[in-house]
Structure 1
Amino acid sequence: MPAEQPTFTPPRITVEAGRVREVSVPPLAPRVTDGSLADIPFTNAEEAPDAAVLSRRTADGGWREVPARVFAAEVLAMAKGLIALGLHPGDRIAIMARTTYEWTLTDFAAWAAGLVTVPVYPTSSASQARHILRDSRARACFVEDVEQTRLLSAERGNLPDLEHLWQFSAGAVGHVVDAGRRLPDALVAERRGLLSPASVATLVYTSGTTGPPKGCALTHGNFFAEVDNAIELLHPVFRAQAAEEPSTLLFLPLSHVFGRMVAIGCLRARVRLGHAPSVRTDDLLADLAAFRPTFLLGIPYVLEKIYNTGRATAERIGRAASFDRGARVAQRYGEAVEAAEHGFGGGPGLGLRAARGLYDALVYRRIRAALGGRCRYVVCGGSPLGHRLAAFFEGAGVTVYEGYGLTETTAATTATPPLRPRLGTVGWPVPGTALRIADDGEVLVKGEHIFSGYWDARSGTVRPAPVVDGWLPTGDLGALDSEGYLSITGRKRDLIITSAGKNLAPGPLEDWLRAHPLVSQCVVVGDNRPYVAALVTLEADGLAHWQRMHKKEHLSRAEVVRDEDLLRNLQQAVDEANSQVSRAESIRRFLVLPTDFTEERGHLTPSFKLRRAAIVRDFAEEIDQLYAR
């Protein structure tokens, strides 16, 4: 049967001096007062033992369902092994691996053994991994493969607390399970009984755009407040629609709180969860085609890539004009749907519906096929998607729920409410959350999902969260509209002040340019300079397509960045971005770099955020060129 529609409680809005300064939404889910995340697998096994809560990839490329009773048994067996190997309640255990079944299994097994898990990005350098393992005082670490084993083995002398290093690809799970075979199940029940919602579940280290990463201590209660309210809010996503059971394929890193929150939410809601370890385009498309999820967790880059790949394919077969017309129709359709849901119009008219039907076969079906064919929803976060793409995907039959949050807020602190979208915003507060805009424009947050504090390595305890009168400063700048929808305008510390005294946030310009198929990254500069300028890097697939279409495959990267046709195309993109801002905020000059910003070079965090200080330092000469007379 179709799922019931969610019940909305209008947000409570506070207006001060003619501006919306505060908005809050009451919780939709009751507060959890006992137990922990460790109980989820065992509750599922008791209440719905045959429910397919996970899927595992098989050797032939298919997927095998994992019933709740089987997953609970695997969690129990691994938890007993961790206890047998000498790990005590509260000990930290690290996981350094891509998004795999073993990651989620280890997470829940560690909690069942009373431990605290510490994610480490699989792409971390030796120094980054060393910092997290030393700071957290991890006693054990699971890694995925031999390269990571070698990387950490070379650091063992710098990691006095690390007693165990286990490799998934070398049978780590089996080794741990074998160690605990003689232990009674009651020991795990005893460890679980020691945990409460106030217990620390995980130390998630921030990306560290301006300094060493800090360990955010997130409790079991933080995750319950987050996922229980998100499940109720995003009712169409997590509940069965007609005869179609919900499912998702997770490909974002579990090292990031966003991916972790969704994995926990899926187990909590008994939504079938699969893992995709490779984000290479060909691998991911094959996984999506085989798994066929009903919804996805993504970041704007993924949706931009799908759109740009669809556009490039259409251009290659001589149907670019048709794609562009279809894109405009989808945008208008999405905007008409939004207007109708807010009571501003009657929705798409007959002509627009007919046009959408025509382009569904020509354009939109291919877009949905790239997402696996059954995907109807995408939960998107990390950075703003923008009105244009949000409207396009709505018109193409894929509803995007945008959200905004931090590691310190256990992922989402706002989300697009179903049936009440406001394209181009990050939605309302997640139920149980309040937002306030400070005098300087900073977004402040309050709610049960706010972390307990930062880990203090010296004392081995958690320092209380830096809240003021219950409000957590986010460091982000934003604004609330008349209905309480939040728009993020930039980072407080990224504000640019030109020599003429103009203040501007670079984020919106950068996000607009990054959506162009030729652009990989963009850094807007201009602090204490006479005007705004930008460094631009090229997206490899988009550039290769452009060179094929312009018969310029013979040009090297160093040559193509000076090509007049390429620069003319990019200037058009810059002009479009400039049309969104005032003259004083517009990009006057830009420079295309022959190399991209990467994590390996220290210019991106593992979650693809720009390390501005490092970029400005390493490209100081190029920035000076932008201001040379």
Structure 2
Amino acid sequence: MTDNLINQLVSAVPAPGHRLRIARLGGDESIELTEVHAAADRLAAALYADGVRPGDRIGILAANGLQWVLLDLAALRLKAVTCGFEPGKFDATTQTVDEYGLALLFTDATGARDTRIRPIAQVDELAKRQGGIALPWQRHEATTIKFTSGSTGRPKGLSASVGSIDSSLRAVQEMFEHGPDDDIFVFLPLSLLQQRYWVYSALIYGHDVTISSYAAAFAAMRRTRPTVVMGVPGFFASAQRHIEEQAARRSIGVAEAARALFGDRIRYLWTGSAPADPATLQFFDDCGMPIFEGYGLNETCIVSKNHPKANRRGSVGQVLPGKHVLIDDDGRVSVRSDDPVGMRYTFAAPGESERVFGTDGVVRTGDLGRIDADGFLWIGGRADDVIVLDNGKKVIVRPIEERLRDSPLIDQAVVFCPAQTHLVAVVSPAGDADPAEIGRHLARTNEALERDEQIRRVVLAAEPFSIDNGLLTSQYKPRRAQILARYSTAITAKGDGVHVH
């Protein structure tokens, strides 16, 4: 076998004494990692007997659960390719099976008549059969097709290589040294490949892992007492508000309220996928829960990460071994990897691969950034978020959006320039927002900005942005195109100040 962690994962029995826990609102399900390994082995044999062969694609369209984990691990043993479909973005239909070339599609949806579409509950019975399959992987081979979060247009599919997964797992373990006392808490969809890394890490390095959902996260953390929580910035901003409310209601310190929410064993918190509010990062540091921000894309995996041995607040960390950040004269960031995730999209509209991937595999990120003298990467926003006003002034909107989000009344802020003459912000409220108070915050924000950067009009969304209403991605990033379409009339309307829509 070639020397990579995926081969170790599929062939070596994990050390005893560690568990996978599925935490739901109604209670928890716990299973030894040794049994997870054995059940995946039996499931792989059952799938092989059912005709699944190396290179075949197995689709999974279901909420987080034990069956999801077992299918993914069984596919690895068979050298089949997992396609993780996010519920709500895809449908369990014959069209999906045909479009993505699936041998089988497992789902928790109901009503499908295609025999290739199976209920995911069937996994429980299949995993009881006799096992015995573990095929070796090469570094360049693809284990999975992962899909973009879909902030614009239909999600693009990208085949992810063994080498890219291996290098990321090794780098993360070097930085954070996960060990037998750790329990890593994961609640984002397992359709996102990076969330499955923590299951792989548990099996390889010997620690516990808890899988939950966003809806159950707060309740589950209190019960499970994790040592590490993986979350997007929006999750930690919501947690901060909850902690502050509980501290005020119970007349206790915020550190005590934070422990009541996250448990008393937190070693560190991990965030990325979108810009984090510096005030939120400082809040958790002050609570004794150090939080580390990083940077990466679906097309690159983890590029840089702050960690206990090297942390510079405001940056997204030092560049990882095997990653090479290239910054052109205009500040645009590209990334070259010793082990690329992929060299082009497997599923995408014509021209999309050429727009993102260079001929040598370099990924054009679309972000603006710089690297300081100590190797820390600083991201300044999206290149396409640079607005050029009719007077020639270039305005980078990300710092303005961050200033707007400084208010506890504002959860999200997206800045537009409807006529190239002035800026308009659409904001999603955090709780019951007072338009007058938001107006006062707007005035304070504008005082700190140059004239051309000032916000003339705020559109206050009557309905907060969410995944369900299509205005946030699965990683809780604003979907700019959808927000613009939803509020286009209000954005282009005349008048200054704050207007509720």
User: TM-score by structure 1 length?
Assistant: 0.72
Task: Give the corresponding residue for 2:169.
Answer: 227
Q: CA deviation at 1:470?
A: 5.3
Distance between the aligned counterparts of 1:531 and 1:58, measured in 2?
47
Q: In 2, distance between residues paired with 1:59 and 1:504?
A: 45
Q: Residue type matched to 1:567 in 2? A: P
Cα distance in 2 for partners of 1:137, 1:232 equals 37
Q: Hey, what's the Cα distance between the residues in 2 that align with 1:626 and 1:399?
A: 45
Instruction: Provide, for residues 230-266 of structure 1, a one-character-per-residue CA deviation record: whole Å limited to 9, x for no partner.
Output: 110223xx135xxxx0111211111123323333233
SS of alignment partner, residue 443 of structure 1? strand
- The 5-angstrom pairing of residues 150-299 of structure 1 reads 150=111, 153=112, 163-168=115-120, 171-177=121-127, 181=130, 185=132, 188-189=133-134, 192-193=135-136, 195-235=137-177, 238-239=178-179, 245-277=181-213, 279-280=214-215, 283-299=216-232
2:107 aligned to which of 133, 136, 143? 143
Aligned to 1:517: 408
| Pair 1:619–1:61, CA change in 2 (3 A) | closer
1:575 deviates by: 4.4
Q: Deviations over 1:542-581 (max 9, x none)?
A: 22xxxxxxxxxxxxxxxxx7xxxx1232134334544664
1:116 touches 1:201 (CA, 8 Å); kept in 2? yes
Moved more, 130-139 or 198-207: 130-139
Q: Which has the higher helix share?
A: 1
- Check whether the contact 1:226–1:449 (CA below 8 A) recurs between aligned residues: no
Match runs of 1:74-85 below 5 Å? 74-85=39-50
Which piece of structure 1 moves more, 221-230 or 494-503? 494-503
Cα distance, 1:228 vs. partner?
0.7
Equivalent residue letter for 2:413: C
**What is the aligned counterpart of 2:471 among 579, 603, 612?**
603
Q: Is the CA contact 1:58–1:64 (under 8 Å) kept in the aligned structure 2?
A: no
Residue 245 of structure 2 corresponds to residue 303 of structure 1: no
How many residue pairs end up in the alignment? 493
Once residues 131 and 477 of structure 1 are traced to their aligned partners in structure 2, the CA distance between those partners, rounded to angstroms, is 38
Alpha carbons 1:414, 1:427 under 8 Å: kept: yes
Q: Is the 8 A contact 2:247 2:253 kept in 1?
A: no
Amino acid in structure 1 at the alignment position of 2:179 = R
Deviation at 1:292, TM superposition (A): 0.5
- Confirm or deny: 8 A CA contact 2:244 2:257 kept in the other structure: no
SS of equivalent residue, structure 1 residue 493: helix
- Cα deviation code 1:52-91 (max 9, x no counterpart): 14234599835535142x2221111000011011112101
Cα distance change of structure 1 residues 529 and 518 upon mapping to structure 2, 3 Å threshold: same
Q: Shift of residue 414 of structure 1?
A: 0.7
Counterpart residue identity of residue 172, structure 1: Q
What pairs with 1:330-341 in structure 2 (closer than 5 Å)?
A: none
TM-fit CA distance, 1:386: 3.0
Deviations 1:443-481 (A, max 9, x none): 1112234322334469xxxx8982355532111112223
Amino acid at match of 2:303: T
Mapped pair 1:396 → 2:287: yes
Report SS of the residue matched to 1:89.
Answer: coil
SS in 2 for 1:227: helix
Q: Which residue of 2 aligns with 1:115?
A: 80
Secondary structure (helix, strand or coil) at the match of 1:391 reads: helix
Deviation of the 1:134 alpha carbon: 4.1
TM-score, normalised by the number of residues in structure 2? 0.89
Structure 2 equivalent of residue 86 of structure 1: 51
Deviation of the 1:304 alpha carbon: 0.7
**SS state at 1:64 partner:** strand
2:167 counterpart SS class: helix
Deviations 1:419-442 (A, max 9, x none): 332111111112222212112221
SS in structure 1 of the partner of residue 79 of structure 2: coil
In structure 2, distance between residues paired with 1:304 and 1:619: 24
1:64 alignment counterpart: 30
Q: Which of 241, 250, 275 is equivalent to 1:384? A: 275
Higher relative contact order (CA 8 A, sep 6+): 1
Contact 1:233–1:431, Cα closer than 8 Å, also in 2: no
Where structure 2 has 5 or more consecutive residues not aligned to the other structure, the ranges are none
> Secondary structure of the equivalent of 1:440?
coil
The 1:478/1:257 distance shift into structure 2, 3 A limit, reads: farther
| Structure 1 residues 486 and 457: CA distance shift in structure 2, 3 A | closer
- Please say if residues 101 and 274 of structure 1, whose CA atoms lie closer than 8 Å, have aligned partners that are also in contact: no
Q: Provide the C-alpha distance between the structure 2 equivalents of 1:578 and 1:468, rounded to a whole number of angstroms.
A: 44
What displacement does 1:600 show? 4.3
Q: Measured at CA, do residues 606 and 57 of structure 1 come closer, stay the same or move farther in structure 2, by a change above 3 Å?
A: closer
Change (3 A) 1:455 1:387: closer
Structure 1 counterpart of 2:260, from 352, 364, 369:
369
For 2:102 and 2:446, locate their aligned partners in 1 and report how far apart those are by CA, in whole Å: 48
Equivalents in 2 of 1:264, 1:177: separation in Å? 19
Tell me which amino acid in the other structure corresponds to 2:206.
R
Deviations 1:260-304 (A, max 9, x none): 333323333222111113x22xx3222111111011101111111
Pairwise CA distance, 1:212: 2.3
Q: Is the 8 A contact 2:10 2:77 kept in 1?
A: no
Aligned-residue offset at 1:110: 1.0
Give the letter for the 2:412 counterpart. Answer: Q
Deviations 1:346-380 (A, max 9, x none): xxxxxxxxxxxxxxx72212112211221120111
What's the counterpart of residue 485 of structure 1? 376
Q: Distance in 1 between matches of 2:441 and 2:496?
A: 23
Kept in 2, the 8 Å contact 1:56–1:64? The answer is: yes
* 1:628–1:249 distance in 2 versus 1, CA, 3 Å: closer
Tell me the distance in 2 between the aligned counterparts of 1:617 and 1:290. Answer: 41
Secondary structure of the 1:305 match is helix
Query: Any idea what the Cα deviations from partners look like across 1:530-549, whole Å, max 9, x if unmatched?
Result: 2212112223xx22xxxxxx
Kept in 2: contact 1:55–1:274 (CA 8 A) = yes
Do the aligned partners of 1:137 and 1:457 also contact (CA within 8 Å) in 2? no
Q: Are the equivalent residues in 2 in contact too, given 1:384–1:424 (CA < 8 A)?
A: no
Distance 2:465 2:312 in 1: 32
Matches within 5 A, 1:418-437: 418-437=308-327
Letter in 2 for 1:149: T
Give me the whole-angstrom Cα distance separating, in 2, the residues matched to 1:273 and 1:286. 16
Which residue of structure 1 lines up, in the alignment, with residue 422 of structure 2? Answer: 531
Q: Distance in 2 between matches of 1:276 and 1:580?
A: 41
In structure 1, C-alpha distance between the alignment counterparts of 2:411 and 2:119, rounded to whole Å = 34
The SS at the match of 2:12 is: helix
Measured after TM superposition, the shift of residue 172 of structure 1 is 1.2
